[in-house]
Every structure is written in C-alpha cells, then in structure tokens.
C-alpha cells in the first residue's frame, strides 16, 4: 500500500513545478518527514492488523477445542438399565449427569431407587429397583377373626365358625342351635373365596348331614359292637368329634388308648392290707392274705418258716399220724383273668431234696376241682393245669399233694395250697 501511494504524491509535486513558483513545492526535508509519518502510520496499522489476526486465530482455536470436547462428551454414557418386571422405566438417556426414573404397575410397589443418575465414573447411582406385589392382606380386610390369604392382587378370607362373606362380615344363622345336644353337632367351616365359590367342610370326627350341619360320628356305636372292628378293650364313650375308651376300676387306660392295664396296688401304698397281711396283686384289684399254718392236731404241729411256708415240727416217737402228715405246706396265690383259653399250666411243683425213687402228685381237695387237673411233666415235676375256662369273678382253691416214695415206702409229703383269684374281666 505504501508503494502505491508514494509515487502518486511524488508525481503531483513534479507536475506542479513547471506551472507555479518553486516555493509552492514541498522541500526535500518536508517530503522526508511526511514519508516518515506515513511509515509510522502504516506500521501502526500493520501492528493492529496483526493483533486482530492473532485474536481471530485464538478464537478459532478455542472454538475448535470446544467442539472437540463436546464430541468426546457424547461417549460418556452409563450402561443400559433393565426395566423392572411389572413396572416401567422413564427416561432413555444414559449419558453422564442424566436421570432415569422407575414406576410400578398397579398392585405393585417399588422396592429400591425411584431415580438413578448416571455418574461421572459411568456408573448409576442408587440401586436397581423391582416391583413387589402389594400384600393384599396388609389392610387386615377379614373381619370377625377371619384369616386372610394373600393372592395375586386379591385376597381370600377364611372365616371362623359363625361368619361368612368375602370379608367374614356376615353372620351365619343356622338351626343347629335348636338341636338338643349341640355339642355333637357343629356348624361347618366355610371358606368363601371368589364370589359364588364357597367350600364348607367338617372338623375331624364329624360328617356333613342334611341341612349343612356337621354331626359327630358315633364311633362307639359304629365299631364297638363287632369283635372285628372293636375299638376299646372294655368300654367306649362317644365324644364330640372323637371317642374315648374307658376301663373299669382297678385298671388304667394303656398308652395305646384302647386297652386296660391292671393297677398294681401292692407296689407303693395303694392297698389296704393291715400289718401282718400280705398283699396279692390281682387283675382289677388286690387281695390281702394271711397264710396260716394248720392248728396242732393228732400230735402234729407246724411252724411258719417264711411268709408262705410252714414246716412240720418233729413228731413224737410214737405218733404215726404225725409221721404221715405233710412235712411242709406252702401257699400260692395266682391272679387269673376270666375265660382264659385252656388247657393252661398254672403251676409247677417239684422238690429240691429228692432222695427217694418216685414222686406222686394228686389233688386232695379245695373248691375248684372241676376246672383243675394235675399231671406229671417229668419224673420230678408235676403241673397244675386249668382245664376249663373260668367265669369271673371267682376265687378258686385247690390243695395239691406231692408224695415222695422209696421202694413204695412214703418218705414225705408236701402240700401246695393254691388260690386262684379270677378277675371279672378277660383282662
């Protein structure tokens, strides 16, 4: 630009010289000064121009870096989040700083974070939520003690006796209260679920009868009379919803709940025997006994050597009757159940001091000879056998004799006094 302007100005001066005076033309000094001023002006303009250019370049550079930063930001995203079952996810952006919201469908409630934010480290804040079915029983919808059963967006009330309806709100009026023995008839248990569906059932031991009443099953009447189906060994008591076996006095119900077990009154202090008496436990009771030796007779006397045994005192030298009398007497008490099957060995007799060559056994007397027999089981042993069933209650007495011989000469006799206490029952 300087080169263009300067020749024009110099030429103007040259053209003016031949037409006017030389004083009107600029001096050499003045031209130089003017040129210097022009140069300064141009330098200043050049500097301003350069500064503008530099500023423009700076702005362009800033713009470029900003555009680059924005472009890189687009890659800063968090991973996609799952949509919860029975719910929705609101907001699609997964970029850093953005939020995603969660809501659940009707009948469900959100468990976890309602809102999650994509953080600078490209992870989501909060926890992944899920939708849980709302407990339909949480509001305790069943009235009058009904039990609520939670369903899928519904509930069912199991109503107690006397109430019905979806919320057990309706009292049930039935005619069972008019029955004479109300304890043996009950109202059924009914569960009313969805409208129109009602299920009624009876408690155990009851059965549905006409009119929708639960009637007790009389197990005793049904099963007790027949020996094949008999429930109780002795007696049966019908109870509402069940039955119970009963035992006669002197027995307790066995752990199996249907047989009767004798009470042993003689162990412990459940007997009424006086001092000097012996307690004998029997089926269904007990007896108090006092074994007595026979009174002295014909020079023969006995002495008690134990609770159940008597021994003959030494005989006078000239007493044959004494020598023929039993040398010992023992007492035996046998508890017996009525109607026991026969033949049945009740008692065995033998001797520990056998010195002869043979033993004889015999029934000598007593009040039970018709049902007893004696037989030999081996050379030194005899048996008392029950030959007929005995109807109880009864007390049978039998006296057995065991004689020992040596070459047909009597060496000695032993008397067994046996008493059988027969119970009134077959147990």
Q: Please report, as ranges, the residues that interact with Ca ion according to CB under 5 A.
A: 216, 238, 262, 281
Q: Cα dihedral angle (231, 236, 238, 243), rounded to 10 degrees?
A: -50
The distance of closest approach from Cβ of residue 186 to Ca ion in the complex, given in angstroms and rounded to an integer, is 11
DSSP secondary structure, 322-369, as one string: HHHS-SEEEEEEEEE-TT--SSEEEEEE--S---SSEEEEEEEEES-G
Say if residues 191 and 198 touch (Cβ distance below 8 Å): yes
CA distance 219 to 229: 10
CB-nearer residue toward Ca ion: 262 or 383: 262
Say if residues 174 and 190 touch (Cβ distance below 8 Å): no
Structure token digits, residue 281: 């436990």
CB-nearer residue toward Ca ion: 163 or 427: 427
Sign of CA dihedral 24, 27, 32, 37: negative
CB-nearer residue toward Ca ion: 131 or 217: 217
Backbone angles phi, psi at 24, to 5 degrees: -75, -20
The distance of closest approach from Cβ of residue 210 to Ca ion in the complex, given in angstroms and rounded to an integer, is 19
CB-nearer residue toward Ca ion: 262 or 404: 262
CB-nearer residue toward Ca ion: 156 or 423: 423
The distance of closest approach from Cβ of residue 249 to Ca ion in the complex, given in angstroms and rounded to an integer, is 10
The distance of closest approach from Cβ of residue 216 to Ca ion in the complex, given in angstroms and rounded to an integer, is 4
CB-nearer residue toward Ca ion: 216 or 383: 216
The distance of closest approach from Cβ of residue 166 to Ca ion in the complex, given in angstroms and rounded to an integer, is 33
Strand 328-336 relative to strand 409-422, pairing: parallel
What pairs with residue 288 in β-bridges? 279
Report, in angstroms and rounded to the nearest whole number, the Rg of the chain calculated over CA atoms. Answer: 63
CA distance 321 to 404: 17
The distance of closest approach from Cβ of residue 84 to Ca ion in the complex, given in angstroms and rounded to an integer, is 55
CB-nearer residue toward Ca ion: 130 or 223: 223
The distance of closest approach from Cβ of residue 267 to Ca ion in the complex, given in angstroms and rounded to an integer, is 10
Q: Cα dihedral angle (119, 121, 123, 125), rounded to 10 degrees?
A: -40
């Amino acid at each position: 630009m300087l080169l263009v302007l300067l020749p024009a100005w110099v030429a103007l001066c040259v053209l003016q010289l031949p037409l006017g005076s030389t004083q009107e033309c600029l001096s050499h000094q003045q031209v130089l000064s003017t040129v210097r001023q022009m140069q300064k002006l141009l330098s200043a303009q050049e500097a301003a121009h350069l500064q503008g250019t530099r500023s423009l370049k700076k702005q362009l550079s800033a713009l470029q870096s900003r555009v680059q930063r924005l472009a890189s930001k687009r890659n800063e995203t968090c991973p996609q989040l799952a949509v919860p079952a029975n719910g929705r996810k609101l907001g699609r952006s997964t970029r850093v700083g953005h939020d995603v919201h969660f809501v659940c469908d009707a009948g469900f409630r959100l468990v976890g974070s309602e809102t999650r934010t994509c953080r600078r480290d490209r992870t989501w804040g909060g926890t992944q939520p899920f939708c849980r079915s709302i407990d339909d029983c949480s509001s305790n919808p069943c009235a009058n003690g009904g039990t609520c059963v939670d369903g899928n967006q519904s509930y069912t009330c199991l109503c107690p006796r006397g109430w019905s309806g979806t919320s057990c709100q309706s009292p049930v009026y039935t005619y069972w209260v008019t029955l004479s023995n109300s304890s043996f008839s009950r109202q059924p248990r009914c569960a009313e679920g969805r409208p129109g569906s009602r299920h009624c059932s009876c408690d155990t031991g009851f059965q549905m009868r006409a009119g929708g009443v639960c009637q007790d099953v009389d197990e005793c009447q049904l099963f007790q009379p027949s020996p094949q189906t008999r429930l109780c060994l002795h007696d049966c008591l019908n109870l509402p919803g069940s039955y119970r076996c009963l035992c006669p006095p002197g027995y307790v119900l066995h752990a199996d709940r249907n047989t009767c077990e004798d009470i042993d009154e003689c162990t412990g202090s459940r007997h009424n025997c006086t001092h000097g008496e012996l307690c004998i436990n029997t089926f269904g009771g007990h007896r108090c006994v006092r074994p007595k030796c026979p009174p002295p007779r014909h020079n023969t006397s006995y002495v008690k050597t134990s609770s159940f045994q008597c021994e003959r005192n030494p005989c006078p030298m000239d007493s044959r009757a004494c020598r023929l009398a039993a040398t010992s007497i023992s007492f035996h008490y046998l508890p017996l159940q009525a109607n026991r099957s026969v033949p049945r060995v009740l008692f065995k007799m033998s001797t520990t001091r056998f010195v002869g060559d043979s033993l004889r056994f015999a029934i000598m007397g007593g009040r039970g000879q018709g049902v007893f027999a004696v037989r030999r089981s081996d050379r030194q042993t005899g048996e008392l056998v029950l030959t007929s069933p005995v109807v109880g209650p009864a007390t049978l007495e039998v006296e057995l004799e065991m004689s020992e011989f040596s070459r047909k000469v009597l060496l000695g006799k032993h008397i067994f006094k046996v008493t059988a206490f027969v119970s009134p029952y077959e147990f």
